[in-house]
Amino acid sequence: MNRRVLTSLVGMAALLIAVGCNQTTPTTASGGKPLIAEPTTGVTFSEDFNPYDNNSVASSMGTRSMVNEPLVEFDQLDATVAGTHPWLATAYTFQNGGKDLQVTIRQGVKFSDGSAFGPADVAATFKMLQNPTTNTRGVPPQASEPTVNGNNVTLHFSSAQYTGLFNILSNTFMLKASMAAQIASNPTMTIKVPLGTGPFMLASYTSSLIKWKPNPNYWGGTPPESEIDTPSIATNAAASDALISGQLDWAGNDIPNVYANYVNLNPLTNHAWFAAGSTVTLWFNLNPGNGGATGIDDPAVRKAVSYGVDRNALAQLGESGYEQPASSSSALILPNQNAFLPSDGTMKNDLSISGSVPDAASAKAANLPAGADVYDVLKGGGWTPPASSRYDSGTGTFKSGGNCDGSNTANCWTKGGKIIKFSVYDPVPFSDYWENAALMSQELQPLGMDVTTKPAQGYSDWNTNITSQAANWQTAIHWGSGGSIPYIQYQNWLDNKDANSTAHYIGYTNSAADTALRKYESTDPSDTATLYPIVQQLEKIMSTDVPEAPLLYGADWNVFSSAKYTGWPNQSHPYMNPSPSDPQMPYILMQLKPVS
């Protein structure tokens, strides 16, 4: 599921990029049928469209950019210049060793109320984001307020930001200056009528359906769609039913058995393309209290959990084969990011897809049975094996002798009078994640860990809990931030100083990771001799400390019908991250063509 709530970054190699070469979007005549698009399931609607409150319906449903557009549209699957599309900005260039970013603002743009949009609005938006409370989009710390010179806005950062372009230019949504000032004073203020420059504006709201109508003042021309509908859909199965019945045209979630249940019913109009765009991980709540979990504060336990998971089962049973098993403890998205791995091959395929993870240091055979390294790493970490366990050092076979389910500690690893005990907390409407949580429990209990599941009834309560340093959850399966360079996900997983990062949410700190991330940010990406060793320091931290355990290569979910519109991004024409969500929504919507 394309559940991109957390921030992500894309770095570009060039220090000067003039994006004016692609400055126009199609000018069309509206008249196409209403397009029904559902970015995710399980969201409880609320009449709030504040783009900088992560709990608003616009944020939860990923519809912010239809109204409040970004400066540049980056294709998160393509970090080359070909994946860079000007939007409210026509050019940008780094200055001052990467600390300053000058952005040229498109002229002739209006807000949907007819008022002019310009550099002052851009400057006010970024001024608002100097407050960490309002900076929910992950914009790097600014050294001073933006400065305006004619049609240019210069952003001043505390450190070089070669890696931060996605969050700065594409993941930040432009506001009218007066609205930016209000949000600066009240970050969670309720906005019932959103105002922006985007191709659509709010038509109507109910707790079950939001309707959007074309913006008559849109700078890019009249949108092809006469209307966009965003329905409230409770579960993935319900989304499948809506697709089959023609009540949904575009879905951003895991549709059960999508080919049999949808695509094959009418291959001429029914389509699915799941581009691999992130690494799905298991988060470990390391905050004090953490719901009563025991053991997960020990890196040896987190590594053993990662070793014991049968990733192939998660991929095939939980994800219906749509997502592939993660194969590297570095958590890099492979094979896309192979170039960043150590040349000695130590982290390439060091996670077996079947849960039998070979220890590269001792050159174990890659086909050892499940649990071999669970025994090694826990024994080495001072844990006592289950009294009923059986371990064959010749084959590496380990079984606890019975399920560690809390009823008999003789079946569990122990240390200091405690067993390894935690639950996996995910929303029941996320049928794929919920299935994977159950599978992990079934896989890890026979290996001596008391692992259970904890249901969240919907997205909203789950997201509030896991992103607020709450103590009422223990572990959770979560998608990654994606992107084309390793920094994007590493910053989110490891940077505790960012209040909107996974590291901050789970209470993980690592000074070595902080140092490596700051070096990464200030390194020209074309200097690979300097860059690659820095990236490999971060890979080692992920591999040895395991603050998040890599599970799968997450799909950018995209199921769509061409019955009403053509021109969708697909395998043959992969022009953009295809999911119906921020920030790519306006770009894709303006490329579609009505079927006559």
- List Cα–Cα distances, 187 to 48, 129, 557, in angstroms: 12, 10, 30
Higher per-residue pLDDT: 112 or 498 = 112
Question: Which pLDDT does position 464 carry in this prediction?
Answer: 92
Q: What are phi and psi of 47, to 5 degrees?
A: -80, 75
Alpha-carbon distance of 278 to 249, in angstroms, equals 24
Q: Which fold has domain 16-236+557-594?
A: D-Maltodextrin-Binding Protein; domain 2 (3.40.190)
Average pLDDT over residues 293-312: 95
In tens, the pLDDT along 458-482 reads: 888 999 999 998 889 999 999 998 8
Residue 13's pLDDT band, with cuts at 50, 70 and 90, is very low
Range 201-209, long-range pairs (CB < 8 A, 24+ positions):
201/67, 201/112, 202/49, 202/67, 203/227, 205/45, 205/47, 206/45, 207/45, 207/232, 208/45, 208/232
Average pLDDT over residues 98-110: 97
Paired sense of beta strands 250-251 and 35-38, if any: parallel
Average pLDDT over residues 190-202: 98
Question: Which pLDDT does position 79 carry in this prediction?
Answer: 66
Give span(s): CATH 3.40.190.10, the chain: 16-236+557-594
Alpha-carbon distance of 440 to 305, in angstroms, equals 9
CA atoms within 13 A on the CB side of 60: 24
Q: Is the pLDDT of residue 483 over 70?
A: yes
Question: Which pLDDT does position 83 carry in this prediction?
Answer: 87
Question: Which pLDDT does position 372 carry in this prediction?
Answer: 60
Q: Is the pLDDT of residue 591 over 60?
A: yes
- Asked, as a colleague might, if the bond just before 446 is cis with ω within 30 of 0, I would say no
Highest mean pLDDT among 27-31, 394-398, 455-459: 455-459
Give span(s): CATH 3.10.105.10, the chain: 277-555
Average pLDDT over residues 405-412: 90
- List Cα–Cα distances, 63 to 255, 544, 589, in angstroms: 20, 38, 12
Give percent of the chain above pLDDT 70. Answer: 90
- Asked, as a colleague might, if the bond just before 146 is cis with ω within 30 of 0, I would say no
Residue 256's pLDDT band, with cuts at 50, 70 and 90, is confident
Higher per-residue pLDDT: 363 or 574 = 574
Alpha-carbon distance of 528 to 535, in angstroms, equals 10
Q: Is the pLDDT of residue 581 over 90?
A: yes
Listed range (28-32, 105-109, 351-355, 481-485) with the worst mean pLDDT: 28-32
Listed range (10-14, 452-456, 508-512) with the worst mean pLDDT: 10-14
CATH value of 277-555 in 3.10.105.10, 3.40.190.10, 3.40.50.1970, 3.60.21.10: 3.10.105.10
Question: Which pLDDT does position 248 carry in this prediction?
Answer: 98
Alpha-carbon distance of 346 to 539, in angstroms, equals 11
- Measured from the Cβ of residue 261, the count of other Cβ atoms closer than 10 Å reads 16
Question: Which pLDDT does position 76 carry in this prediction?
Answer: 82
Q: Is the pLDDT of residue 44 over 90?
A: yes
Question: Which pLDDT does position 23 carry in this prediction?
Answer: 40
In tens, the pLDDT along 422-443 reads: 999 999 989 899 999 999 999 9
Q: Is the pLDDT of residue 396 over 70?
A: no
Question: Which pLDDT does position 19 carry in this prediction?
Answer: 43
Average pLDDT over residues 231-260: 94
Residue 394's pLDDT band, with cuts at 50, 70 and 90, is low
Average pLDDT over residues 115-136: 96
Average pLDDT, whole number, for the chain?
Answer: 89
Question: Which pLDDT does position 240 carry in this prediction?
Answer: 95
Residue 59's pLDDT band, with cuts at 50, 70 and 90, is very high
Listed range (39-43, 301-305, 349-353, 547-551) with the worst mean pLDDT: 349-353
Burial label, 462 (beta-carbon count in 10 A; 0-12, 13-18, 19+): buried
In tens, the pLDDT along 525-543 reads: 878 999 999 999 999 999 9
Residues 6+ apart with CB under 8 A from 241: none
In tens, the pLDDT along 328-371 reads: 999 998 887 888 999 998 898 888 676 544 433 333 443 334 55
Average pLDDT over residues 80-97: 92
Average pLDDT over residues 33-60: 96
